[in-house]
Amino acid sequence: MIQKVDDMIQSFKDLMSGKLIKDAIEGLIVLLVDELMSPLYDAFAKSYLFTPQIAEIAMVQSGWSLFMIIGLVLLFIGISWLTFKIIQGKKDLGSLLKVFLVCFVATYFSLTALNIANVGINWISSKMFEGIIGTSGITYEGLDGQQILKAMIVGADGITDAAYAAQTLGELTVSTSGGIFNLLSYLLLVVLPLYLVAVIKTLVLIFMAILVNLWITQSAYTGKMETLLGFANLYLRTLLVGLVCGLHWAIFVKMQTDYGEGEGFCAALGIPPIIFAILSALALLVFFFFFWLKPLIKAVQHPVSLNGAQVLDSMGRWGERSSTSLDSIGKRMGSEGVQKKALSMQDASKRMQQAADRMRTQRSVGKDKLVSTLSGGLSESVQGIAYHEPDEWLQEGGQIHVEALHELALGESEIKSSALNISEVLGDEGFRSVSLLKAPVAQRKLLTEKLSTLKKEYQEDVQWDERTGELILAGPTLDMLPQLEQEGFDISAVREGMYKDGAFVDLNNTPKISMLTDSSEAEHAAEQIKEALPLYTQAKLPQGKASSAYHALQERADEYPWVKELLLEQDVLWLPDGDLEEATEVLEGMMAQTTRKIRYNFPRHSQFAANMLESWERTGTSEGLAEVLELSNDESHVYVPEEHLNEFQKAYDQYRKGRTPYWRAKDGAVYVIKDRVPVNFGQPPLDGLDMGSFEKLQKDMMHRHEQKQIKENLDAKLPVSPTKSKASEKPANKGQVK
């Protein structure tokens, strides 16, 4: 009874303090929130972390099967009709037949391809969860909705710890710091928006999987490839939305896990990760709007083409910006290859934008092309389609900057020391003072006979090689030279120097090392000379550059110690042999110059560039120019060194002068444009320019005509300005001739 009285007193205190009312309101809110969220858990479990396996959904299978049968029947009819026309001799319909056959196969395997994409994105998600959260042995595909959401509040324990299984999501959220505020914020700003994203994502994938065959069939019949491009763009974006949602979940589960262990960014700030989860969810929704919902809305507004042309145009613009950045990086790095890749990317991006413009008129152009084929080209004359040669025969496609390294030429090595010092130093190394005589060829046999009569004690001081005519005299035999001269031998080519084991240093002229024999002993003696005496090599720089290089290097003595040993003699720079390799590299870097190569694009689809270069080499008119040009493999463009620019333009104009452009059709016919009309020329002109495929030219001309028609129609619909209207209604002055 006392206990009951105490409970009553405590209840009265709680009522008076407001705690009882607070607990009642909190319990009611938790109950309402849990009841509200219960229907959402199933959607979270099936589609939030992973993309649903749409191929296993019965509704998708039945809907896809129905439209697949319709698509296959329509495509079979189209294939049969095209085959019949080809049998009749309409060979140019072969490309259309290939398109129908490809679409026929794509229709049959379309659901399989979409399912492979789903499986791939789910595999990436699973590996991503294991890597970020750091758990193993968990089947993430088997998590229920409550576990997914609880893990964002308590971390990985919400998945692995059974203690949290008895608590509802509302109770668990209220038990954290922030209470009801966190609960309501989490519900309104995280759970409900992400639930809508998961539901819309699933519905979009189901709808696209069911109707994919209709879009494939429509592309085959209309020739509008923008439909398939729009489909692929929207489907991939939808898959990536699911991947980003999973990445967001895994990151904040990891943050919450670290926070519970007192680690990580949030623990250092003392702010619960759930606050960051709420804020990041809002940022995620903004990202989804621009990345996914906005393109989805535009695709819904254009259900036939799925806004594919705009997708290609946007890719082209982004590619152009990326190529500009890549070109800047290439110039900073001095990489010629990166700059060329950037210019190629820029050209491809521009072509993508042009292709997007053509896609917008692709349906009418495809129809016109087919009608032209059936009518033998008469329909083009009725429509007034005019043919033109290229507006620009040479279009600049950008520039690349190339570091042109100057290869430093080197002279022979010389010893920079006096003859007296050389004699003293080499004498200490075992070298002997000798006279070296280079005997004439006519006197070598006589000299051999003469030397054979020498006394044996002199033979050690005499070395004779009849093959080379080199006679070395040392010691007491030095007195033999006057005697040889008296006997008629020519001793004018005698030199004085130091000799050892086949290595000789001339002291009469410029001191330098001469190797008289090819032996290891001679090489060892030469190394002794290099170590004992200062050996220098001449740097053959352009006139006036030696002094500039010498003084520039003196300012870098702290960086390169060998700079102090450089010699500048009469505007000639001498480099120490001990540091020759590094000194050469530094000087070549100082003399490097930046040159430019200009990219020029030839007319689209043309194929005469290789023949032009071959003609220059064969005739010799511009043979040197052909060697410095860099022609691409597809003959679409060429890189011209800046110093050869004028020469190239003159040679190019001269080559084109008097030549007739021609186009070759698939059936072998050769067309030449006469008065804006393609005329069958029979055979390629003798001096012609191969401009490539006639079908591609025909398509371009039809696109140009269609775009012109669209522009004229738009101009006709534009309202006339009031100023122009009044001016047109104003009567003419008297006497004025109308």
Question: What HEC string does 536-575 produce?
Answer: EEEEECCCCHHHHHHHHHHCCCCCCHHHHHCEEECCEEEE
DSSP structural state of residue 121: H
User: Which tens digits make up the pLDDT trace of 494-536?
Assistant: 888 999 988 999 888 888 888 888 888 888 998 888 888 889 9
- The pLDDT, as a whole number, for residue 176 is 62
Query: Edge-to-edge strand order for the sheet containing 630-631?
Result: 395-404, 593-601, 637-641, 630-631
The DSSP call for residue 407 is P
Q: Which two tokens stand for residue 60?
A: 């998708």
Q: Which long-range contacts (CB under 8 A, 24 or more apart) does 477-486 make?
A: 478/435, 481/435, 481/437, 484/447, 484/450
Which amino acid type is present at position 88?
Q
Of 580, 538, 585, the residue nearest 405 (C-alpha) = 585
- Tell me the C-alpha distance between 363 and 223, whole Å: 6
Separation in Å, CA 694 to CA 92, 678, 684: 11, 9, 13
Region label for 377, one of left (φ > 0), alpha (ψ between -120 and 50) or beta (otherwise): left
Beta-carbon count within 10 A of 387 CB: 22
Cα(523)–Cα(603) distance, rounded to whole angstroms?
A: 62
Give CA–CA dist 335/369, Å, rounded.
45
Residue 170: its pLDDT value, please? Answer: 62
The predicted structure's pLDDT at residue 38: 64
Phi-psi label, residue 465: left if phi above 0, alpha if psi -120 to 50, beta otherwise: beta
What span, in angstroms and rounded, lies between the C-alpha atoms of 548 and 565? 16
Give me the helix-helix angle, 226-260 and 192-222, nearest 10°.
160
Weakly modelled stretches of the chain, pLDDT under 70: 4-41, 43, 85-86, 88-96, 135-137, 158, 160-184, 223-224, 334, 354-377, 403-405, 455-459, 717-738
- In the structure encoding, which two tokens stand for residue 389, read together? 């040669």
SS3 call for 615? helix
Number of neighbouring beta carbons within 10 Å of residue 222: 17
- The pLDDT of residue 240 is 92
Q: Residue 132, class by beta-carbon neighbours within 10 Å (0-12 exposed, 13-18 middle, 19+ buried)?
A: middle
Cα–Cα distance measured from residue 264 to residue 270, given in angstroms and rounded to the nearest whole number: 10
The model carries a pTM of 0.57
Give the amino acid at 304: V
Name the residue with tokens 């086949």: 502
Give the residue from 717, 666, 658, 661 showing the smallest Cα distance to 689. 661
Residue indicated by tokens 């966190």: 182
